Amino acid sequence: MRRLHPTHPMMYTVHMKRVTATEARKNWFRLLDEVAEGEVVVIEREGTRLLLKLDERAEPSAKVPDYQGLIRVPDVSEADQWGWDWDGSSEGLRPRRTGPET
């Protein structure tokens, strides 16, 4: 704990990384790795704030998994413009593209 002022011993510095929901979607696994290392992340969307932080009661993980290459997309900057649809048929998932958010 880092004290800010000698006459206010209960004050301390809290660092939180702030990202939008779109940024969180594009960098999800990197954000999870940062939270696993102790970073506190605030995800903000339409006035709502979600706090992502390490559960202090949890046992520390030996190693954060390497997610590199797990999900591949042609253009990560367009990740919010595609998805998958499933109609319950035996044919499985079908790719879906949407337009940019307005």
Is residue 89, in this structure, part of any structural domain at all?
yes
Is residue 65, in this structure, part of any structural domain at all?
no
What is the pLDDT, as a whole number, of residue 77? 73
Is residue 26, in this structure, part of any structural domain at all?
yes
Q: Is the pTM of the predicted complex or chain greater than 0.75?
A: no
What domain count does the chain have? Answer: 1
Is residue 102, in this structure, part of any structural domain at all?
no
Q: Phi/psi zone of residue 66: left (φ > 0), alpha (ψ -120 to 50 degrees), beta?
A: beta
pLDDT in tens, 4-40: 555 555 655 567 899 999 999 999 999 999 998 889 9
Q: Write the CA distances from 34 to 37, 45, 64, 69, 79, integer angstroms.
A: 5, 20, 10, 18, 21
* Position with higher pLDDT, 100 vs 102: 100
pLDDT in tens, 57-71: 766 666 767 766 666
Is residue 66, in this structure, part of any structural domain at all?
no
What is the C-alpha radius of gyration for the chain, rounded to an integer number of angstroms?
Answer: 19
Return the CATH number at 9. Answer: 3.40.1620.10
The closest of 26, 39, 36 to 66, measured between CA atoms, is: 36
The pLDDT-based confidence of 88 (bands split at 50, 70, 90) is confident
Is residue 62, in this structure, part of any structural domain at all?
no
Domain encompassing residue 20: 3-54+74-97
